[in-house]
């Protein structure tokens, strides 16, 4: 008999480790709630994942089996279960977060004293980072290599007769949180993916930056699959395979639109590749600057940014979306991150930690990898990239629908004035909407200060 140790892979379909365990014998599925690891993610994501554990338990129960749920350290619990159930192999999937890597090593060390062994499979990514070069200077270089590696299709769920017939009453209650969460688990993930594939996929490239559509008609916009992907409630091969096949089944504009989705997954893969070769991605600048980068310490500015009260409408709308939904659309995600690390010159690590606390789709590799990219400390091939929050709004939310949705105090302000808010004079702002924030930094001064500070760190001044 084998154990399959579920971690960030709360599903039975398209699960590489589970599939291997069931090919090799009967399977006892387990999940270990590890408080020390769990407290490193935000309360909202904890609740979402625990709801996912309950959904997974139901899936096993419907197949006359059960998910054994235990609380504590995997290095203590797994050897006990190995003894109790006379286990031959403990299967799991490889995960790349340093804390997960060490936990796996601890389990391996404990098992060394027994007859059982640990077998970890590549599941979380389409291409094992170890198969690629250790560093790439741009995404296009990474993508060129990554694309040539053959990718396998999804794994089937194990046959029910491979799952051992047990019943285990233990579960972990889902804590209440400050926002309403989307339904969790593989069925909810599959439903969302079906809906996306039925329509939005074929206009994905045209619509993925359309902020009005994101609030007015979400079924035509981005997938919002990220919370499910980060909790492993849907498999990456399922996503890649189906969208690639659907793209191949159409032509012209529809094909170009649909192909963009599997392409976007390669950004996620690049972040995992980065983390694999740079385990300190969350704490150290990926790029070494010849001179120390001088970040500003300004609590008032940081607090205004977290609260969505910077006086920059698109930044504030994005931060309020994050605070209200635990999710933020990719376009404002980039804009708010750039605003913090460039216009406010506040250390990207503080912003990334705030995201970790608030997001339900927090993903260790993608969060820290993208923050570094935006902060120009990561793999961006441009030395200093600064998003202009005013022109970003003019381009992506030109009717101000997204901003008005999240910043209702601006509802009655004419669109042009919302877009230009940071550059209007104080008297005009006060006449138009006294309740809304004054800009906390001048648009041009903020831009130039960031440019100078980064150039100094880069040794160009």
**Least distance to ligand FAD, CB of residue 370, Å:** 3
Q: Spell out the long-range contacts of 147-153 with Cβ–Cβ below 8 A and sequence spacing 24 or more.
A: 147/266, 151/126, 151/127, 151/237, 151/240, 151/241, 152/237, 153/237, 153/241
Pick between residue 223 and residue 306 the one whose CB is nearest to ligand FAD.
223
Rule CB under 6 A: which residues touch ligand FAD?
A: 208, 222-226, 229-230, 264-265, 267-268, 271, 330, 333-334, 337, 355, 359, 361-363, 366-367, 370-371, 374
Burial tier of 339 (Cβ tally within 10 Å: 0-12, 13-18, 19+): buried
Pick between residue 74 and residue 227 the one whose CB is nearest to ligand FAD.
227
Pick between residue 4 and residue 196 the one whose CB is nearest to ligand FAD.
196
Cα(389)–Cα(395) distance, rounded to whole angstroms? 10
**Least distance to ligand FAD, CB of residue 225, Å:** 4
Pick between residue 162 and residue 273 the one whose CB is nearest to ligand FAD.
273
**Least distance to ligand FAD, CB of residue 272, Å:** 9
**Least distance to ligand FAD, CB of residue 219, Å:** 12
* Nearest alpha-carbon partner for 22 in 13, 34, 9, 35: 13
Interhelix angle 299-307/313-325, rounded to 10 degrees, is 70
**Least distance to ligand FAD, CB of residue 334, Å:** 4
Buried b (16+ CB within 10 A) or exposed e, 222-247: bbbbbbbbbbbbbbbbbbbbbbbebb
Pick between residue 75 and residue 275 the one whose CB is nearest to ligand FAD.
275
Pick between residue 113 and residue 382 the one whose CB is nearest to ligand FAD.
382
Residue that the structure tokens 């007015």 belong to: 216
**Least distance to ligand FAD, CB of residue 222, Å:** 3
Pick between residue 230 and residue 285 the one whose CB is nearest to ligand FAD.
230
**Least distance to ligand FAD, CB of residue 403, Å:** 18
Q: Spell out the long-range contacts of 407-410 with Cβ–Cβ below 8 A and sequence spacing 24 or more.
A: 407/308, 407/313, 407/316, 407/317, 407/320, 407/436, 409/433, 409/435, 409/436, 410/313, 410/436
Q: Where are the beta strands (DSSP E) in 72-167?
A: 89-93, 117-121
* Nearest alpha-carbon partner for 172 in 62, 59, 32, 60: 32
């Amino acid at each position: 008999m084998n154990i399959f140790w579920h971690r960030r892979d709360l599903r039975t379909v398209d699960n590489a480790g589970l599939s291997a365990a069931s090919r090799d014998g009967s399977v006892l599925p387990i999940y270990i709630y590890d408080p020390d690891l769990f407290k490193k993610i935000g309360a909202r994501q904890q609740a979402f994942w625990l709801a996912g554990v309950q959904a997974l338990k139901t899936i096993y129960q419907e197949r006359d089996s059960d998910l054994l749920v235990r609380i504590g350290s995997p290095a203590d619990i797994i050897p006990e279960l190995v003894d109790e159930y006379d286990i031959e192999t403990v299967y799991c999937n490889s995960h790349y977060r340093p804390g997960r890597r060490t936990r796996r090593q601890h389990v391996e060390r404990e098992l060394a004293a027994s007859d059982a062994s640990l077998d970890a499979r590549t599941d979380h990514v389409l291409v094992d980072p170890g198969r690629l070069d250790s560093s790439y200077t741009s995404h296009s270089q990474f993508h060129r290599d990554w694309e040539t590696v053959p990718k396998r299709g999804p794994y089937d769920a194990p046959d029910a007769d491979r799952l051992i017939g047990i019943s285990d009453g233990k579960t972990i209650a889902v804590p209440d949180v400050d926002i309403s969460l989307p339904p969790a688990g593989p069925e909810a993930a599959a439903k969302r993916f079906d809906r996306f594939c039925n329509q939005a996929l074929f206009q994905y490239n045209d619509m993925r930056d359309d902020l009005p559509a994101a609030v007015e008609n979400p079924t035509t916009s981005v997938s919002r699959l990220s919370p499910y992907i980060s909790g492993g409630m849907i498999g990456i091969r399922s996503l890649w395979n189906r969208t690639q096949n659907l793209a191949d089944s159409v032509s012209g504009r529809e094909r170009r639109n649909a192909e963009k989705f599997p392409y976007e997954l390669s950004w996620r893969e690049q972040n995992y590749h980065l983390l694999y070769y740079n385990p300190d991605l969350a704490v150290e600048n990926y790029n070494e600057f010849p001179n120390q980068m001088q970040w500003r310490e300004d609590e008032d500015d940081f607090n205004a940014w977290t609260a969505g009260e910077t006086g920059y409408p698109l930044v504030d709308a994005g931060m309020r979306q994050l605070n209200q939904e635990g999710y933020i659309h990719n376009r404002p995600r980039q804009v708010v991150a750039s605003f913090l690390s460039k216009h406010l010159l506040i250390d990207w690590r503080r912003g990334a930690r705030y995201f970790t606390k608030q997001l339900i789709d927090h993903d260790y590799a993608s969060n820290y990898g993208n923050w570094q990219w935006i902060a120009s400390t990561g793999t961006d091939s441009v030395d200093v990239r600064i998003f202009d929050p005013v022109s970003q709004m003019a381009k992506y939310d030109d009717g101000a629908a997204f901003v008005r949705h999240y910043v209702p105090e601006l509802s009655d302000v004419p669109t042009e004035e919302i877009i230009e808010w940071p550059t209007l004079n104080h008297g005009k702002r006060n006449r138009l909407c006294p309740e809304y924030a004054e800009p906390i930094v001048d648009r041009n001064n903020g831009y130039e200060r960031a440019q100078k500070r980064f150039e100094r760190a880069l040794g160009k001044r």
